[in-house]
A = this chain, B = another copy of it.
Amino acid sequence: MIDIDKIISVIARRDAKTAGLQFPEGLKRQGPDIAKAVESMTGATVIISGDPCYGACDIDDGLLDMVDVLFHFGHSRLLEDDRIVYMEYYHDVDVDAAVLQALPMLGKRVGVVTTVQHIRMLPRIESILIAAGKEPVIKPGDSRITYPGQLLGCNFSAAPQDVDSILFVGTGNFHPMGVQMTTQVPVIAADPFTGQARKVDVERIMRQRYAVMAKAMDAKKWGIIIGMKPGQQRLELAKRIKEVAGDAVLITIREISPERLIAFKVDAYVSTVCPRVAIDDASRFNVPVLTPVEFDIIKGLKKWDELAFDEIRGE
C-alpha cells in the first residue's frame, strides 16, 4: 500500500541527502522496514518521526527542519510547503453493501461525503446512487480540502446544504455528527468495513456538550489553549476569546493531556487546537474544556441553538 517507488523518485529528483518519514499510528510499525528500504535504494539518511500524528495539520516541524524532504503518510495535502510530500493512503474496500443498505434512508437529492481513505470510491458511490434514481451532489471544499466530497475532522466545507440527505461513507461517529450539526441536513452513515448503514443521531453528543457548557458558566478563571501544531495554530482567535473571557491566560500546548490541564489553576479552558480534542476527550478532563463556538454561546455571542462542531476553515 506504501508507494516506495514514489519516495525513491522524489529523493532522486531533489537530490535529497536526508529524508523524514511521518506516519499516523496505524502505519508506524512499518516505519523501520520502509526506512531501511529507502536508505538502501537511495543512500539518503532517513529519519522517522516517533511522535504521535493525528492529521495533515500535525506536521512534525522539528523533523521538517532537520531534513531535505519530509514524507507525510496517510493524509492529503493541507499546508503549502514544498518540503512536505503528502503520501495518501487509500482503503479501496468495497462500498457497495454499505451504500445499498443506506439507499432506503436517503431522499432524492443526496450530498456525498467521505474521508480521504475512501475518496477513490466516490465514482462508484455516485453510480450506485444514480442507478437507484437519486441525484448525487459532490461539492468541492475550501482551501484546506484537497478533493470534492472530502471531509476532515475539522472541516465540513465539502458538505452541501441544498440537498435532502447526506450520505457519509466511512467509519466512526465524529465526521457524520459534525456534518449534520453544521448543515442541519439528515445524515446517513455507511461503513464499508461493516457493510452497515444507519441514521446519524446527534442528540447524545448535544446533551453532553450542553452539560459541559453549563458547568463552564460559573468559571471565573479561564485558560485559552493555543495549539502548537502547524495546521492548528489559531492565535488571533485565542486572543479574541481572551478579551471576552476577562480573567484569562493564553497557554500553548503541543499534545493535550488531562495532566497538562490540571497543572494550571484555572476553572475552565477554551481549546483552539484540533476541534476533536474538546469533544473526543471530554470524559478524560476534570475541568470543562469548550470549543470556541461553545464559549461564544455561553457568553451570549451566539444563540444556544447555533451549537455546531468547531471547524478550522480555509479560504
Contact = CB atoms under 8 A, between A and B. Distances in A.
Interface of A: 20, 25, 28-29, 31-33, 35-36, 45-52, 60-63, 66, 221, 223, 225-226, 228, 235, 239, 247, 249-255, 260-261, 263-266
A211 B257 CA distance: 33
A223 to B, nearest CB: 7
A252 B29 contact: no
Contact of A260 (B47, B52, B61, B63): B52
A48 B226 CA distance: 10
Given A31-B249, A50-B263, A50-B264, 9 more contacts: A28-B264, A32-B265, A32-B266, A35-B249, A36-B247, A46-B249, A51-B253, A61-B62, A62-B252
A245 to B, nearest CB: 12
A242 to B, nearest CB: 9
Copies per complex of this chain: 2
Contacts of A61: 62
Contacts of A249: 31-32, 35-36, 46, 48
A264 B32 contact: yes
A250 to B, nearest CB: 4
A106 B293 CA distance: 65
Shortest 3 CB-CB contacts between residues of A and residues of B: A50-B253, A28-B263, A62-B228
A226 to B, nearest CB: 7
A229 to B, nearest CB: 9
Contacts of A225: 50
A252 B32 contact: no
Contacts of A31: 249, 251, 264
B36 A252 contact: no
Contact of A252 (B33, B48, B250, B265): B48
Contacts of A228: 51, 62-63
B260 A66 contact: no
Contacts of A32: 221, 223, 249, 264-266
A63 B48 CA distance: 24
Contact of A254 (B45, B62, B266): B62
A33 B266 CA distance: 10
Contacts of A247: 36
Given A32-B223, A51-B260, A226-B47, A66 B266 contact: no
A261 to B, nearest CB: 8
A139 B252 CA distance: 39
A45 B239 contact: yes
Nearest to A25: B263
A52 B252 CA distance: 11
A25 B45 CA distance: 36
18 contacts: A28-B263, A28-B264, A29-B264, A32-B221, A32-B249, A32-B264, A36-B247, A45-B239, A46-B249, A46-B250, A47-B251, A50-B260, A50-B263, A51-B228, A51-B253, A61-B62, A62-B252, A63-B228
A63 to B, nearest CB: 5
